[in-house]
């Protein structure tokens, strides 16, 4: 059974990924570190708005910011994605098992009707 902390971590993670801009930022960071300014370039929004997206991603654990001279490069934290993937895979397995059991049950009902 999942703990409250794990549930909250997943909530923050999926909330962060629910926004297209934040998913784009995660995708961009999968290619390597980038500054907030570099991450903001493709968007017609203020630096403040991009910074807000980055804060959401940081709170979810998906990205972190370091320090390099006077810049604060952002980097992807793949462990957070692994947490989401684990949850998705477990959910897929549970639902696949349920669907298999339903299919078996329906096949038995069909056999009974054919008799």
Residues β-bridged to residue 74: 34, 65
Answering whether pTM is above 0.95, one says no
Domain that holds residue 93: 4-114
Does residue 1 have a pLDDT over 80?
A: no
Q: Number of folded domains in the chain?
A: 1
Bridge-based pairing state of the strands 74-76 and 63-65 = antiparallel
pLDDT tens digits for range 81-113 = 888 888 899 999 999 999 999 999 998 888 888
Task: Residue 56: give its domain's CATH number.
Answer: 1.10.10.10
Burial class (CB in 10 A: 0-12, 13-18, 19+), 54: buried
Quote the tokens at residue 15: 């909330």
Q: What is the pLDDT of residue 2?
A: 59
Compute the distance between CA of residue 90 and CA of residue 101 in angstroms, rounded to an integer.
17
Compute the distance between CA of residue 77 and CA of residue 62 in angstroms, rounded to an integer.
5
Compute the distance between CA of residue 77 and CA of residue 37 in angstroms, rounded to an integer.
19
């Amino acid at each position: 059974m999942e703990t409250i902390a794990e549930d909250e971590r997943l909530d923050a993670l999926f909330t962060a990924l629910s926004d297209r801009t934040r998913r784009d930022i995660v995708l961009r960071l999968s290619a390597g570190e980038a500054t907030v300014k570099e991450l903001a370039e493709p968007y017609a929004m203020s630096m403040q708005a991009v910074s807000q997206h980055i804060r959401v991603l940081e709170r979810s654990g998906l990205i972190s910011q370091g320090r390099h001279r006077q810049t604060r490069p952002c980097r992807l934290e793949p462990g957070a994605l692994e947490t989401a993937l684990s949850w998705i895979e477990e959910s897929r397995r549970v639902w696949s098992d349920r669907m298999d059991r339903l299919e078996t049950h329906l096949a038995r009902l069909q056999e009974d009707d054919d008799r």
